[in-house]
Amino acid sequence: MIRHVLLLLLLLAGLGGPAAPQALAQDSLSDTGKIIDRWETLADRAKTALQNAESTTPALERLRLDLVQQRAEAESLRVTAEEALAPLRAQADALGPPPAEGAEEADEIVRRRKDLDDAITAAEVPVKAASSVARQTEALITSIDAELHRRFTAELLSQHAPPLDPAGWNAAFDEAVNGALPALRQGYEGLMGSGNGLWLAISCGTLGLSLLLGIRSRVMRWFERRLSPSFSRGQREHVWVGAGLTFAALLLPAAGASLLLYALDRSGLLSGLSQALVRDLGGFAAILVTAYWLSEALFGPDVPARQLLPMGERPGRKAARMTLVLGLVTGIDHVAIGGETSLNLSLSTLTMLNIVLVGVGAVALYRLGRALIPVYAPAGAAAPQEDEDEEDEDEGRGREPLGTLLASLLARLLRLVALISPVLAVFGFFAASRFLFYPTVRTGALIGIVLVLVALVQDGVEAALTEEDGTRKEHSPLRLLPILAAVGLIVLCLPALALIWGARESELGEIWYLLNDGIAIGDARIRPMDFLVCILVFAVGYFLTQLVQRVLSNAVLPQTRLDSGGQKAIVSMAGYFGLVIAAVAAVAAGGLNLSSLAIVAGALSVGVGFGLQNVVSNFVSGLILLLERPVKEGDWIRVGEWEGTVKRISVRATSVQTFDRAIVIVPNADLITTSVLNRTHSSTTGRLIIPVGVAYGTDTRAVARVLGEIGDASHLLLRRPAPFVLFKGFGASALEFELRGYLRDVSTTLDATNELNHAIAERFAAEGFVIPFDQTDVTLRNAGEIAALLERFRSGDPAPGTAPGAPGSPSAPGSPATPGGAGPQPAPAPGQPADTGAAAPFAPPSAPDLPEGGAGDTAADTGDSR
């Protein structure tokens, strides 16, 4: 994995820019023939290699790199030739089209047109030749990629004889021993001849072992003592101590391993090994150090309080041991099989060694997968509370956190790979077993590294958001930093992940080339780098716009005489203007040619215009509101049935806060096309009217004088214009007056109304003025006769002079005593209303028989309380 990462970095560094092809193109327009001949020679070599079945894979890889270089040169030559051709075509276009048949043209123009045509024809030769070579080279590269993929697939599916013969194992053991003896002998001779370097080697080796064993253990115990109280108190210190522990788990073993390797080299013990094998030993040490670091950071066997994957102390120690075993197996495979030398062992010996390594690693991988399986709640776990909503229980039932699902899936994949890999190795599928097992282990290591790095970022954020007293800021933009870090690390790990699973560096280079070349749509070419430049320029423009808005709102506009609404309107317009400028600058900086998309954009704009005409109308209305300012922020307005204060004017709608503290979203078009009552448009001054009534017979002049004095005494009413008392008219129950005055600020309407009403009530009581209220007087005619009739009804006696059953008797039909002829009825119980379904006991007398009081004394009368 380390070799792959280094190769990836070198590949990306080599793709910094086509400086060499550009220089070649600038100096080679005159030597086009020689260049094309060289390109044809390389193309013939590639065709011969593809037809030859004995061509090795490394040879094809080198040939592919040469073809990639040739393609870059051809593209650069084509671009340079087109740049030289563009002025000639412009001059030919300036001469206009050739004259029609039979028409004459000046000799100078004819000669000039012929010279330009000859020059254009000559200049098109390198353009067409370079384009042809580039396409031919592209086809050859595709053919080589297909051949390499075919060979890779064939290697994975190849099966060797299963090494089940014990004699073969003995032969493999003898080969390994015989290969190791010369290296040991040369190492001994080098040790004896090291001289003074031996003491330096012993010192470095001793220090390295101390770092790996004694010092490392003491440092881990120190961190454990510091972390235990810190976690219990929830202090900020645990974040920094935990980060220090993570780095110590990486740096101490790395320093110890480096000192040991240096000691071995200085002692002469490695003198019998090749430089490639020494580099493989360095990779072995790096793999072991990485495995130890991941075991400490993820599972925390030495400091369980810092477990990144909380699973308890005992499962954590088990998972850490299995991680170390996997690191050891991967390191041995890197030196013996997957390195640069493969120890010069035969294929049969490598196959047997692969069975041992994959078998041991599969056991460790299976046990690690079991340790990673999430621990679910037992069957007798506490049931949910009875008062919880049943619908919420149904929705939440059967759902698990995403992290738990991913951990469960990863654990099952590890166990599946651990079961399949050794079976493939035993049955002779050497390449397939290695391709399945080791990339899985390296992928798991890559995931672990990403988790640890994201956890470090998370710890840093928590430390920054934790106060000295232990309180934390729950909502902060910094909490997005771990998410951004995770996304960025995942993107950076994608190339490494592709290399782990068999992708070649040349394939990654091809992907990078395609990304840089972009996608051609008509005459336009869309490149991802252009989009990145656009995004970067727009982000800078947006940042500058926000900065200008802050300067305007905090430093410039407060020094002017503009009100708050005008200041906010200017800030909003500056924001819109800045965004437009940022968008235009981004498109210009990215070099996007959108002219070929104009027709498509026009058609889409028509459809979008019909579909979003209300949105566009509101947007335009919002701009009108900001420019014309019929309504501004802070105004007291009434729109339709809503009344309140304008809180915000956006591009689509305006937010109005009612006096009930509710927010009403009003479309901007409604504020432009309908009538709007704005109480504070030009000033906050407004008129207040206090209606009041007095009883009939009251001195109206005195009432007007008292009301005028009350208005003059109020500090909330303006002196100019002075308060005014209006004798409005004669009401049904009172003489109606109005106290009118102007308020300095209409927002004090309720306070002024409250104060003036209290003052009026107090002065009217002192002056003896009566404020009438509505009431109804009911007068019953012939009350004595009704009382006598009721008395006779209760006693059951008929009226004098009437016989039972006669008209007017209690038993007569329709009589007051028996309504409707239903017979005698009992008197209503106390507190119960009388039956109103009966007919009236007496018909009203004729007009001449009315009492002297007139109709007003006998009918239902409505008037004042006097």
Q: What is the pLDDT of residues 480-521, one digit of tens each?
A: 888 999 999 999 999 999 999 988 888 888 788 777 776 665
* Alpha-carbon distances of 579 from 38, 537, 568, rounded to whole Å: 52, 11, 17
pLDDT score for 404: 67
pLDDT score for 386: 41
Among 319, 334, 323, smallest CA distance to 361 is for 323
pLDDT score for 231: 52
Cα 84 to the center of its chain, rounded Å: 48
Beta bridge partners of 688: 741
> CA-based angle 584:590:593, to the nearest 5?
80
The one-letter amino acid code at 223 reads F
Is 776 within 8 Å of 860 (Cβ atoms)? yes
In terms of CATH architecture, what is 612-682? Roll (2.30)
Is 637 within 8 Å of 676 (Cβ atoms)? yes
Q: Which helix (H) or strand (E) holds 690?
A: strand 686-694
Span of 160-164, 546-550, 711-715 with lowest mean pLDDT: 160-164
Where is pLDDT greater, at 504 or 442? 442
Cα 551 to the center of its chain, rounded Å: 28
- Torsion of Cα atoms, 743 then 744 then 750 then 753, to 10°: -30
Task: Kindly state the tokens that stand for 771.
Answer: 């404020």
Task: Write the burial class of residue 151 (CB in 10 Å: 0-12 exposed, 13-18 middle, 19+ buried).
Answer: middle
pLDDT above 70: residue 595: no
pLDDT score for 209: 78
176 — pLDDT class (breaks 50, 70, 90): low
Rounded CA-CA distance 296/307 in Å is: 8
Rounded CA-CA distance 98/95 in Å is: 8
pLDDT score for 826: 44
Domain range list for the chain: 2-96+109-157, 168-375+402-407, 520-598, 612-682, 686-776
Mean pLDDT of 838-844: 40
154 — pLDDT class (breaks 50, 70, 90): confident
pLDDT above 60: residue 73: yes
pLDDT score for 664: 92
Where is pLDDT greater, at 166 or 862? 166
The one-letter amino acid code at 206 reads T
Span of 373-382, 537-546, 695-704 with lowest mean pLDDT: 373-382
Instruction: Give the orientation angle of helix 313-336 with respect to helix 347-372, to 10 degrees.
Output: 160
pLDDT above 90: residue 456: no
Cα 852 to the center of its chain, rounded Å: 91
Where is pLDDT greater, at 506 or 719? 719
Average pLDDT over the chain reads 76
Is 665 within 8 Å of 657 (Cβ atoms)? no
> How do 642-649 and 653-658 pair as beta strands?
antiparallel
Where is pLDDT greater, at 218 or 364? 364
Among 608, 614, 611, 610, smallest CA distance to 668 is for 614
Query: Which residues, 6+ apart, have CB-to-CB distance to 672 below 8 Å?
Result: 621, 624, 625, 630
pLDDT above 80: residue 222: no
pLDDT tens-digit profile of 319-337?
889 999 999 999 888 888 8
For residue 490, give the 3-state DSSP assignment. helix
Mean pLDDT of 534-546: 92
605 — pLDDT class (breaks 50, 70, 90): low
* Alpha-carbon distances of 278 from 41, 275, 292, 426, rounded to whole Å: 40, 5, 21, 30
DSSP 8-state symbol, 299: I
Is 35 within 8 Å of 77 (Cβ atoms)? yes
Task: Kindly state the tokens that stand for 235.
Answer: 């202090």
Instruction: Give the orientation angle of helix 613-628 with respect to helix 564-590, to 10 degrees.
Output: 130
Where is pLDDT greater, at 209 or 436? 436
The backbone region for 823, taken as left when phi is positive above 0, alpha when psi lies in -120 to 50, beta otherwise, is left
DSSP 8-state symbol, 101: T
pTM of the model: 0.62
The backbone region for 834, taken as left when phi is positive above 0, alpha when psi lies in -120 to 50, beta otherwise, is beta
Span of 232-246, 630-644, 760-774, 842-856 with lowest mean pLDDT: 842-856
For residue 746, give the 3-state DSSP assignment. helix
Is 340 within 8 Å of 273 (Cβ atoms)? no
Is 150 within 8 Å of 57 (Cβ atoms)? no
Contacts 24+ apart (CB under 8 A), 777-782: 777/860, 777/861, 777/862, 777/863, 778/860, 778/861, 779/857, 779/858, 779/859, 779/860, 779/861, 781/844, 781/851, 781/858, 782/842
pLDDT tens-digit profile of 76-103?
888 888 888 888 888 888 888 887 777 7
Q: Starting at the edge strand that comes first in sequence, how are the strands of the sheet with 724-730 ordered?
A: 686-694, 735-743, 724-730
Rounded CA-CA distance 451/448 in Å is: 5
Q: What is the 3-state secondary structure (H, E, C) of 789-843?
A: HHHHHHHCCCCCCCCCCCCCCCCCCCCCCCHHHCCCCCCCCCCCCCCCCCCCCCC
Query: Which residues, 6+ apart, have CB-to-CB distance to 565 below 8 Å?
Result: 629, 632, 633, 634, 635, 646
How much of the chain exceeds pLDDT 90, in percent? 19
Rounded CA-CA distance 359/367 in Å is: 13
pLDDT above 70: residue 726: yes
Where is pLDDT greater, at 724 or 406? 724
pLDDT above 60: residue 846: no
CATH for 686-776, options being 3.30.70.100, 3.40.640.10, 3.30.2130.10, 1.10.1740.10: 3.30.70.100
pLDDT above 70: residue 25: no
DSSP 8-state symbol, 591: T
CATH number for region 2-96+109-157: 1.10.132
